[in-house]
């Protein structure tokens, strides 16, 4: 195959992808490997900033080219990949997005089964379930809440995290529950300053939804949510969560049934809703300890009717 056979396709590829491509794409349009190697030599007209990625010029990459290169490294467009973290927030137009340090890292979000790992300036986040992809400037981008969660989880600057949270909630209308769920118990537990910023922003995440997320992400055995408990066929209580095999109850409201359940010997954990954001790690530890030490109470006398 002669050079003329792929010249037009190469020009189109460069135009459509801002001159960022991959070894596979070049091979797909017939560009010989020897030609690519020659162009990518030191001092050559092309460059390879990342494995498998070729940029069709030798100048420093623009911000857009860095994002495209990160996506190409992670498998886009063949695999589901999206920009996340501070880079995604910047694409969404969040003014607080640029990190004060100016560290040129591009975060990408990929499926958990992907073998792609962090490499030099591309930071890879894995998730079991990819969120719906948004598109900004023809680039796949994570939703703002997810992008913020990935950015906050790796940031060492609590003030930056606070600025992002305040802008998302105060100016972009992100629902508190959505942001709290995206952040998750693990991030909140590792980043106590983030919980403080949530409080300062006036957020009141739906406590029950946050509790469900916390239990799931901590890998705890799922309970019955908001069940109706009966003792010998007579109404006993309607707690927020109940583990029927363990006799463990979690109550967010300190309802009147709490003392009756404790008197029966059930293990009742009274958790203030604010503790789910301020001290999530402690809540998870208390739950895990209670489930490990059980079972409690006369479980044979208790009937649990599933709730919502």
Averaged pLDDT in 10-residue chunks for the chain of 308 residues: 75 95 95 95 96 97 95 89 95 84 83 93 94 92 93 84 84 76 69 65 60 84 87 84 92 68 89 78 90 90 80
pTM: 0.65
Distance CA 248, CA 174 (A): 34
Q: Quick one: residue 48, left, alpha or beta (phi over 0 = left, psi -120 to 50 = alpha)?
A: beta
pLDDT at 31: 95
What pLDDT was estimated at residue 1? 46
Residue-level pLDDT at 100: 61
Strand partners, 22: 53
Q: What is the pLDDT of residue 196?
A: 64
Reference 67, options 3, 128, 20, 126; nearest CA is 20
What pLDDT score was predicted for residue 218?
85
Distance CA 174, CA 176 (A): 6
């Amino acid at each position: 195959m002669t050079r003329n056979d792929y010249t037009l396709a190469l020009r189109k590829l460069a135009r459509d992808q801002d001159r960022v491509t991959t070894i596979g794409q070049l091979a797909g349009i017939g560009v010989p490997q020897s030609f690519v190697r020659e162009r990518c030599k030191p001092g050559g007209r092309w460059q390879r900033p990342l494995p498998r990625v070729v940029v069709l010029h030798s100048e420093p990459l623009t911000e857009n080219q860095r994002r495209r290169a990160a996506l190409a490294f992670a498998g886009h467009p063949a695999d589901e990949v999206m920009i996340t973290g501070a880079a995604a927030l910047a694409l969404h137009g969040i003014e607080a997005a640029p990190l004060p340090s100016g560290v040129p890292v591009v975060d990408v979000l990929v499926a958990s089964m992907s073998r792609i790992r962090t490499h030099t300036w591309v930071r890879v986040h894995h998730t079991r379930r990819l969120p719906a992809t948004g598109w900004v400037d023809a680039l796949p981008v994570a939703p703002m809440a997810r992008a913020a969660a990935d950015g906050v989880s790796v940031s060492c600057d609590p003030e930056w995290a606070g600025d992002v949270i305040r802008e998302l909630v105060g100016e972009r209308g992100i629902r508190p529950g959505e942001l709290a769920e995206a952040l998750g118990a693990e991030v909140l537990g590792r980043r106590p300053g983030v919980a403080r910023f949530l409080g300062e922003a006036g957020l009141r995440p739906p406590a029950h939804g946050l509790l469900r997320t916390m239990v799931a992400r901590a890998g705890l055995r799922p309970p019955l949510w908001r069940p109706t408990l009966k003792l010998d066929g007579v109404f006993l209580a309607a707690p927020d969560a109940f583990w029927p095999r363990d006799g463990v109850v979690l109550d967010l409201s300190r309802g009147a049934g709490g003392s009756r359940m404790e008197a029966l010997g059930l293990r009742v954990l009274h958790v203030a809703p604010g503790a789910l954001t301020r001290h999530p790690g402690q809540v998870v530890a208390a739950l895990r300890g209670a489930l490990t030490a059980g079972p409690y109470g006369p479980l044979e006398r208790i009937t649990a009717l599933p709730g919502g």
